[in-house]
Structure formats: structure tokens, C-alpha cells
């Protein structure tokens, strides 16, 4: 069972912050864009 009080490690926190920055900069694809691009 996963405990709710576990902390994220520093690597994970850094990766989340970097992902947030990419999202803010528009550097991501929506699911619709991925489906169209790859024919899914």
C-alpha cells in the first residue's frame, strides 16, 4: 500500500519543475496532436 505522507526525492522534484517550464513555454503536444501526427 502506498502511503500519502511519502516525500518526492530531489530528482523527481527537479524533473517536475523542468516539465512545468516546458509546458509554460508551449513545448508539448496534446493527445489530439499526437494521434493526428502518429495516426493513433
Summarize pLDDT for 1-40 with one digit per residue, the tens. Answer: 566 677 889 999 999 999 999 999 999 999 999 999 999 8
Give yes or no for a contact between 29 and 37, defined as CB atoms under 8 angstroms apart.
Answer: yes
- pTM (two decimals): 0.60
Nearest to 29 by CA among 37, 18, 40, 21: 37
Say what the pLDDT of residue 3 is: 64
Amino acid at each position: 500500500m502506498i502511503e500519502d505522507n511519502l516525500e518526492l526525492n530531489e530528482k523527481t522534484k527537479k524533473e517536475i519543475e523542468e516539465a512545468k517550464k516546458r509546458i509554460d513555454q508551449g513545448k508539448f503536444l496534446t493527445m489530439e496532436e499526437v494521434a493526428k501526427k502518429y495516426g493513433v
